[in-house]
Amino acid sequence: MGKLDGQVALISGGARGQGEAQARVFAREGAAVALGDVLEDDGQRVAESINDTGGQAMFRRLDVTEVSSWNSMVDETVSQFGRLDIVINNAGIARVKLIEESTLEEYLEVIRINQLGVWLGMKAAIPALKEAGGGCIINTSSTAGLEGYAGLGAYVSSKFAVRGMTKVAAIELAQYNIRVNSVHPGPIDTPMIRDPQIRASSDQDFDIARTSPIPRVGHVDEVAAMMLFIAADATYSTGSEFVIDGGVTAGSALNRDRD
């Protein structure tokens, strides 16, 4: 018996990194998983791999900034699997640039994917979740939704917004038995933070992680385990922030030197 037997989960950004790990863990726990991403080859590979190992998965191209793309994703998920119980808004990007040097277009690119994408995902999924009698929405924020980071003005703005809209949605949807929570990962070893375009920031992230209370970078499977806990076990939690950062946001130690 899996923790998610009979349930259906839709995961945006499911083609790699944290989204892929979440899809694999949820499938192992009995959920049918619908993966949405713009990375079509990677997404198909993940879905086929899950199906080949006895799980249930489908992949569809999803542009999280488009209303029609979200509506199609939800409709096709329900058509194939019969219902929708869990939504993980996981898709996101980061761009490193000082506010003074950023263009409006660069700022809005991050806001559209990280912030608007989450809002559209919740809006598109609500009717299906209501039809199922309730469910769970998990929005991926960041430690950048809890504190500021120089050079990440757009990213921080978007992740604080995700944190706020999660609380609003939790209040609005509780009457329908729909829980809404945000997850706030710290430095996690994913393709995104290894992207050469944000290498300078990822170096900083790795340095922060090495001097945090748990002196290492986090793994995608650890984030997936947190997502599973929220979806399956945290039944009295809504509007909450689940932090998984190795202690980065706990505060500064007096002596952080390590051998």
**H-helix or E-strand containing 180?**
strand 178-185
Say if residue 252 is exposed, middle or buried (CB neighbours under 10 Å; 0-12, 13-18, 19+): exposed
> Could you tell me the CA-to-CA distances from 213 to 142, 193, 242, 253, 258 in Å, in that order?
18, 21, 17, 8, 11
In three-state secondary structure terms, 43 is: helix
DSSP code, position 235: T
DSSP code, position 79: H
What is the layout of strands, in order, in the sheet containing 8-12?
56-61, 32-37, 8-12, 86-89, 135-140, 178-185, 241-244
CA 73/CA 63 separation, integer angstroms: 10
Do the Cβ atoms of 219 and 115 come closer than 8 Å? no
Do the Cβ atoms of 189 and 248 come closer than 8 Å? no
Q: Tokens 């209501």 sit at which residue?
A: 130
Structure tokens at 212: 């945090």
Do the Cβ atoms of 58 and 47 come closer than 8 Å? yes
Do the Cβ atoms of 41 and 96 come closer than 8 Å? no
Q: Any catalytic annotation for residue 155? A: yes
> Out of 149, 155, 176, 236, which one is annotated catalytic?
155
Positions marked catalytic: 155
